[in-house]
Structure 1
Amino acid sequence: MVRRLHAEHGAALLAYATRLSGDRAAAEDIVRQTLLRAWSDPAALSAERGAVRARLFGVLREVAGAPADPLQMLGAVGTLPPEEREVLNQLYVQGRDVKEAAASLGLPAETVKSRSYQALRRLREALAAGVTTGAA
């Protein structure tokens, strides 16, 4: 099952994970973790190909967004401008797609995409810099 998933979706997952992480080795690890996590939920993978791919990308975002230290992630999120935090909240906490988030926020979909991209870039930079909440 994992081999089939990798054969069908591995290249797309790796490309996306590389964009999210900015590091090929980290991206390969993210894809491995994604496929293993997805494999443990066979019901989600028995759907049609497009639904399986969507589920895999959702799992990948969860894997890629899970920092080693939750406090570090909170500190990094705290550095974002409020409009970028709200976009990430809509997409990743509320689980909305771009179109739904755009409607909820009263923004064009392209603005949601742009803010999401900028927010994820800023988060990567903040996490790489070791930003924390300052709590000891």
Structure 2
Amino acid sequence: MTTSDDATLRLLHERYAQPLWRYVFSLTRDSYQSEDIVQETLLKAWNSPRILDEPVEEVRGWMFTVARNLVIDQSRSARSRHERSIERLPEEASADHADQIFDEILIHDALAALSEPHRQVVVLAYYGACSTQQIAAELGIADGTVKSRLHYGMRALKLALQERGVTR
């Protein structure tokens, strides 16, 4: 771009950018779209070599006509008919929790296969994060009994999970 090109573009912008933007904004009510259309209008004027040789009022009228036609063209385009702006973004995609849900169902089903005393101890130990002493105090049984039930309950749980297709 030469110095005269810079001066021409600067002159066009100084004279017409603000009035064009206000006019286009009154048509579109969209500041981003208005800026794009004004920029395109100024570029068309800059690419028209004899535009600055015309009287100022004719140039102004020509630029407003070009801007209006660009607004019309843009509103008729397929993009504007299919795109809709929204105020708020849709919620973000979340991870699929289906595997976690199936695992929970499988464990719940396997726990249901245990005897009540074994299930109580396993649930308190692993889901309640209780120590063997806390479990013994809560259930009113000896600490050794809790350890025994926990051991045999875990073996039964492992077997129940293997019967349901969980291997390991």
Structure 2 length normalisation: TM-score? 0.40
Max Rg structure: 2
Of structures 1 and 2, the one with the larger relative CO (CA 8 A, separation 6+) is: 1
